[in-house]
Structure 1
Amino acid sequence: MRSRRRWCGASTGWKWIWAASERPSWWCLADGNKSGKPSRPTGRDKGGQAGKGCRMKKLHKGFTTALVFLFWTSIAAADCAVTDMAGRTVAFQSPPRRIVCLAPGTLRLIVYLQAQDLVVGVEGIEKTGAAGRPYGMAHPSLADLPLIGPGGPTSINAKPDLEPVLAVKPDVLFVTYMDKALADEVQRLSGIPVVVLSYGRFASFDDEILESLRVAGTVLGREERVEFLHRFVEGLREDIRRRSADIPESQKPRAYVGGIGYKGAYGIESTELHYVPFLWNHVSHAAASVKSRLGSHLFLDREQLLALDPDVIFIDGGGLRLVEEDARKHPEFYTRLKAYQKRRIYRLFPFNAYATNVESALVDTVAVGTVLYPERYADVNLRRKADEIYTAFVGRSVYAEMEALYGPLGGAVELGIR
């Protein structure tokens, strides 16, 4: 992961704290400054052109002086700053004691950092049931916190109603899927530091998730927790990749995953091309050659899926009910699929539920391996491995609750066709 630096100040001077040895582009590091020390804003670069980033355009001497004075005065009120996932430098008082989380997946990341006790308000979507979201299932008391807004897909890059947010008096506001300009506006209107996080490509498993954990962990002083999660994920990734790395392409089944959520629940036509359970297990995605207009997410039509005719189909738990209902209405479609004829349709836990369930994506990755390469996973007890992953991320295993909702992980799906 790329490193994220923050600086912290005291009356005796400034000191810089970093999470890793590399030096990223951060704070007021001028284009020509290679020393690694922060530079005060400058008006023009060596070529006489207006400076970029932290450098202010020099309108006239008096106005520039006033701006610089106001800038350093505002920074003095805080004692730390961090570069968020929108590339913004956000100053804040460390450590924050009260935080709120807005937009899809933000609260999940805070739970991963074991900082849920700092949360002082939640969105309405967190109060309507936590089915399919392990972070909420593991910490049901979060639903009892004051309401700070409705949340949901409509909250993506949308200006929040600040009245309920301000009512809970947060020190920092964390948000995902918000662009730089809007984040700056919300921070200006609220007077609260706004830290933008990211899941990368929407409804996918992207490395930006781990980078967001590093940003939030820096703000909250949870750097050790971030490093634990990083090591855990990398260790699991290496173990899974190793198990199937030497399998010849000719022996790998062509697989498909349907029912993937995308701003809501969908049926078998909804799939994810950048699907970690397939990528880590070196599985050939049957729809890999199909172009998508939604990044890595893809909606197929029935004829396309019939033409692809995958050897194995996995159904995401978030769309399983819709697939079963559709199979009862249109059995003629499903019975034409090779995977149905050979009884090779299997269930997984929801990959997306208000953004990506990282821990469930990892659990699903192990499950896919046990289904496709049972001899390579002979030493793995899927239930125990799922318990380990859930506990590592959300503090306790929620496997039993997930199984009650979606059925046994990796189990066969009958579809109920008669």
Structure 2
Amino acid sequence: MKKKLSIFLAIMMFLLSILTGCTQSKQSAKVEEDETKDSSHVIEITDMAGRNIVLDRPVERVVAIGSALRLYTYVNGTEKLVGVERKQQSKETGRPYIIANPELEKIPIIGEGFPANPDPELLIDANADVIIAGDILDIAQIEELQKKIGVPIVIVNCGSSAVFDQDMYKALTIIGKIVGKEERSKELIEYMEDCKTELTNLTKDIPEDKKPSVYMGGLSYKGVHGIESTTGNSPVLDIIGAKNVADEIGKSGSIMIDKEQLIEWDPDILIIDENGMNIVNEDYNKNPDYYNELSAVKNDKVYGQLPYVSYYNNIETAMADIYFLGKTLYPNEFKDIDVIEKADEIYTFMLGKPLYNIMAEKYGGYIKINLKEGL
């Protein structure tokens, strides 16, 4: 009897171990399956502030604020966008990425836009999977906002240069990874680098003594300005090796000069950014003798360029401007370049639409200017 009982218990223990093993195997398999399923959607990113961000679900809803929206539209148009700043909707600004994407006007508002901070309640209402923030708020503010709304925020920036900036390329790469458009990001960077190479090759062999001197005035910086607003070490002039008279000051970025300094420099060519054209025209009407003293005015060498600064740098317009500047300064080297066709090629590649005529209608376009007659 005892022997039979022992055999029975042994059989029961054996069967129980098999059942338990099967159950554990099924549970382990389910866990592994779940982990595999979840990990396929995990996106790990180190943002441009060095913060490690993990997005643990597919990104279908995105808010892009500050300069990030412009870069986002280069990569992904308006797909997946569920919130934008009010300042990022008005086509009257002449920003190409807004003109190319009129549907931005229909996307819910999450705040006014710089310098106003995003509205936490509106961000919560947007129910985004991720927020991409560019050149807006400092890290402490970003961290505080992220805690308030419970949505991961990825920090990017456009870099310090209007064009061909490595940080801008990094931002495009991050955005591409977030929305699953890494190939598009790569294509954008390659296209811009090809333009850079073309511009460099066209101008690298021009002797310094064959280069005309140039001054670029009327540049926007935190608002519109007149002829005294310029830039040192201008990225759009440096790439073509231009002889920028403002470089003599020894400063980079936005500079406000004394107007008499321009008379002393007396550049061969005067470029006026068309954002400041109205101010320059008004100033000319008040003091024509000042302008008429300049050799560029006397010799009919005054030109207008499309404005590329509006709520940060419009990279595609800055690129188009460089081709126009190259053609203006070095007509022989750029004889095979049609600057209007090139502008539309750039707009189309970056934003999907040829926008030169729209921009020219708003501002004047790539033209010679007679200050006596106005733009």
TM-score of Structure 1 vs Structure 2, range by shorter chain: 0.7 to 0.9
Q: What letter corresponds to residue 90 of structure 1 in structure 2? A: I
Q: Distance between the aligned counterparts of 1:87 and 1:10, measured in 2?
A: 30
Q: What letter corresponds to residue 194 of structure 2 in structure 1? A: G
Distance 1:264 1:204, change over 3 A: farther
Q: What is the 5 A alignment of 1:74-89? A: 79-89=42-52
Of 7, 10, 35, the match for 1:11? 35
Q: What letter corresponds to residue 85 of structure 1 in structure 2? A: M
Map of 2:253 onto structure 1: 296
Map of 2:371 onto structure 1: 415
Map of 1:101 onto structure 2: 64
Distance 1:231 1:87, change over 3 A: same
Q: CA deviation at 1:400?
A: 0.9
Q: Is the 8 A contact 2:199 2:239 kept in 1?
A: yes
Q: CA deviation at 1:109?
A: 0.6
Map of 2:271 onto structure 1: 314
Matched, 1:198 2:222: no
Q: CA deviation at 1:202?
A: 7.7
Matched, 1:402 2:359: yes
Q: Distance between the aligned counterparts of 1:242 and 1:316, measured in 2?
A: 26
Of 229, 241, 260, the match for 1:282? 241
Q: SS at 2:248's partner residue?
A: coil
Q: CA deviation at 1:311?
A: 1.3
Of 151, 161, 184, the match for 2:113? 151
Q: Distance between the aligned counterparts of 2:46 and 2:334, measured in 1?
A: 41
1:77-106 deviations in Å (ceiling 9; x for gaps)? x82221111111112135311111222x22
Map of 2:204 onto structure 1: 245
Structure 1: tracts of 5 or more residues without a match: 1-8, 17-77
1:43-71 deviations in Å (ceiling 9; x for gaps)? xxxxxxxxxxxxxxxxxxxxxxxxxxxxx
Q: CA deviation at 1:262?
A: 1.2
Map of 1:163 onto structure 2: 121
Q: Distance between the aligned counterparts of 1:367 and 1:10, measured in 2?
A: 56
Give the TM-score normalised by structure 1.
0.77
Map of 2:218 onto structure 1: 259
Higher Cα Rg, which structure: 2
Distance 1:10 1:206, change over 3 A: farther
The farther-off stretch of 228-237 and 277-286 is 277-286
Map of 1:343 onto structure 2: 300
Q: SS at 2:215's partner residue?
A: strand
Q: Is the 8 A contact 1:204 1:272 kept in 2?
A: no
The farther-off stretch of 375-384 and 247-256 is 375-384
Q: Is the 8 A contact 1:261 1:319 kept in 2?
A: yes
Q: CA deviation at 1:237?
A: 0.7
Structure with bigger helix share is 2
- Aligned CA RMSD, in angstroms, stands at 2.3
Q: What is the 5 A alignment of 1:121-200? A: 121-152=83-114, 154-155=115-116, 159-177=117-135, 178-200=137-159
Q: Distance between the aligned counterparts of 2:187 and 2:58, measured in 1?
A: 20
Distance 1:207 1:270, change over 3 A: farther
Q: Distance between the aligned counterparts of 1:94 and 1:216, measured in 2?
A: 16
How many correspondences in the alignment? 341
1:120-160 deviations in Å (ceiling 9; x for gaps)? 122111233343210001111111221211113x14xxx43
Q: Is the 8 A contact 1:94 1:220 kept in 2?
A: no
The farther-off stretch of 337-346 and 78-87 is 78-87
Q: Is the 8 A contact 2:304 2:368 kept in 1?
A: yes
Distance 1:339 1:207, change over 3 A: farther
Q: Is the 8 A contact 1:83 1:90 kept in 2?
A: yes
Structure 2: tracts of 5 or more residues without a match: 1-32
Q: SS at 1:377's partner residue?
A: coil
Of 373, 377, 380, the match for 2:337? 380
Q: Is the 8 A contact 1:203 1:262 kept in 2?
A: no
Distance 1:247 1:401, change over 3 A: same
Q: SS at 2:173's partner residue?
A: helix
Q: CA deviation at 1:200?
A: 2.0
Q: What letter corresponds to residue 352 of structure 1 in structure 2? A: V
Q: Is the 8 A contact 1:217 1:225 kept in 2?
A: yes
Of 289, 294, 299, the match for 1:332? 289
1:293-312 deviations in Å (ceiling 9; x for gaps)? xx522111212222222111
Percent of aligned pairs with the same amino acid: 33
Q: What letter corresponds to residue 398 of structure 1 in structure 2? A: L
Q: Distance between the aligned counterparts of 2:163 and 2:42, measured in 1?
A: 35
Q: SS at 1:354's partner residue?
A: coil
Q: Distance between the aligned counterparts of 1:190 and 1:181, measured in 2?
A: 15
Q: Is the 8 A contact 2:62 2:81 kept in 1?
A: yes
Map of 1:58 onto structure 2: none
